[in-house]
Amino acid sequence: MFSSKTFKSTNLSSTIKKHPSVFGVPFVLLMVAASFGLSSVTQTRYDHHDQRVKQVTKEQELRLDQNRKKFDIREEYFRLSAAADEDWEPKRIQRPAGLPEWGVPPPEPQPPTDSKK
């Protein structure tokens, strides 16, 4: 049904069969070299971006110094805690039945006494 074609063995295929490292070692060396090469390119890219971000003109520098305010962590803490206290308001809820206005519970009811004794 299927025609059987024989594989012609060449010098290269027989060498690879006998010594697979002939193909594997150059491949691994290529991967390692590419990794080192790309790491240096990537580092150069990040250095360039960092240098570009850090460049500030003299006008921008003067405006930044002008608007600067001394930072105090305690002041920030009190400002944030005061803001949290202002966001709510007390709301009165309906009292359960039998509970008087000022929160004092009513006296316990007496158990019914049996007169059949």
Per residue in 51-110, pLDDT (tens digit) is 877 777 666 767 766 667 788 899 988 888 877 666 677 788 887 777 777 766 667 777
Q: How far is CA 7 from the centre of its chain?
A: 56
- Which class for 16: exposed (0-12), middle (13-18), buried (19 or more C-beta within 10 A)? middle
Residue 8, phi-psi category: left (phi > 0), alpha (psi -120 to 50), beta (remainder): beta
